[in-house]
Structure 1
Amino acid sequence: MFKSVSIGLLLLGLGISVPVTAQTNGNSYLQEANQLTPQDEQAIRQVIARLNHALDAEDYSLYGSFFADDGVFVSGFGDAVGPGNVAKALEQVRPFISNRRHSASNLVISGDSEQAIVTSYLIVFERVSSLEYVGSAVNVDTLEKRDGV
């Protein structure tokens, strides 16, 4: 399994802009080499999906558990390092992220057996009163494999 070591995002609908942690140089990330095995790529897709499901379930401890001890969560509300601090940061912004449905799509994955960079689109919907569009984001996640995990 891959652990997330940094997440950068741009929340368009919420008016929050955060520099991404990976260098994208325009569209050059689309041409980056992908030397991942199908198993590693599937594991990465599962991490991204589980992160979004944890947000939707408002299980911020579970969300934080996907981060390495030195993993950094970058957001418009500040950076958080490590699982516990990521969970605390999400708890502080609960009013902005609860009762939402987070859907990642168009994942572009590049990397090798030790590190991968995933650029994806995140679409956010209101989920209590309707499925109203709330906003979108471009996420850039850096994931690392450590000790085979």
Structure 2
Amino acid sequence: MKFLHTLALFLALTGPLHAQNTAFLKEPNSLVAEDDLAVRQVIARLNQALDSGDYAVYGSFFADDAVFTSGFGDATGPAGVAAALEQVRPFITNKRHVSANLVINGAGDRAVVTSYLIVFERVADLSYVGSAINIDTLEKRGGRWLVTRHDSELDPATADAMQAAMGGQ
């Protein structure tokens, strides 16, 4: 399966996004309350769209020039993001994606959100599936907050479990 080979390459080539780097915790969040809330809504709506399987809606939260990097492939722009997710639909269907511990650093029309992504199975059983750290850069364009860059790194135990599940494929 193309996805599994892409994932294996991703896991082999990527380094930690935030390994022991806590500088972002000291950066100020200077967003006005309205923009802070709008940014949080984008993150929540991304997860809701992902869980509903509506990848076109998910992609609609990305700018035309957005860069998407994750264990599910790399993509550019709304249509590219939607297509990357469509390729792995069987793997991400019936899951709940929950963002937690959001740290938002922003000013003016730019924000960076660092969050934990926790994923649960919701149909076959009630199990924890995996976790990652996400770093989303958003810009306010035309009065709307859009993701301009999404970087996701699987946590080591999640990466190990995925590699074991791939088992020689």
Report the TM-score when normalising by structure 2.
Answer: 0.73
The answer to whether residue 26 in structure 2 is matched with residue 27 in structure 1 is: no
Gaps (5+ residues) in structure 1? Answer: 1-13
Question: Bigger CA drift: 23-32 or 53-62?
Answer: 23-32
Gaps (5+ residues) in structure 2? Answer: 1-6, 145-169
* Structure 2 CA distance for aligned equivalents of residues 41 and 127 of structure 1: 30
Please tell me the root mean square deviation across aligned C-alpha atoms, in Å.
Answer: 2.1
1:6-21 maps to which residues of 2 (within 5 A)? 17=11, 18=14
Structure-2 residue corresponding to 1:48: 43
* Structure 2 CA distance for aligned equivalents of residues 90 and 142 of structure 1: 19
* Structure 1 CA distance for aligned equivalents of residues 99 and 70 of structure 2: 17
Retained in 2: the 8 A contact 1:64–1:87? yes
Question: Bigger CA drift: 123-132 or 70-79?
Answer: 70-79
The answer to whether residue 100 in structure 2 is matched with residue 135 in structure 1 is: no
Structure-2 residue corresponding to 1:76: 71
Please tell me whether Structure 1 or Structure 2 has the larger radius of gyration of its CA atoms: 2
Aligned with residue 90 of structure 2, among 84, 92, 95 = 95
The alpha carbon displacement at 1:115 in A equals 0.5
The alpha carbon displacement at 1:24 in A equals 8.1
Residue 129 of structure 1 aligns to a residue whose secondary structure is coil
* Structure 1 CA distance for aligned equivalents of residues 16 and 47 of structure 2: 18
Task: Name the one with the larger helix percent.
Answer: 2
Retained in 2: the 8 A contact 1:80–1:86? yes
Report the TM-score when normalising by structure 1.
Answer: 0.83
Structure-1 residue corresponding to 2:156: none
Aligned with residue 102 of structure 2, among 95, 101, 107 = 107
Higher RCO (CA-CA < 8 Å; seq separation 6+):
1
- After superposing on structure 2, the runs of 4+ consecutive aligned residues of structure 1 that deviate more than 4 Å are 14-21
Retained in 2: the 8 A contact 1:20–1:139? no
Structure-2 residue corresponding to 1:5: none
Structure-2 residue corresponding to 1:147: 142
1:1-58 CA deviation, whole Å, 9 max, x = no partner?
A: xxxxxxxxxxxxx98645577x787000101121101100100110000000001000
| Corresponding pairs, count | 135
- Cα gap change, 1:24/1:65 in structure 2, threshold over 3 Å: closer, same or farther? farther
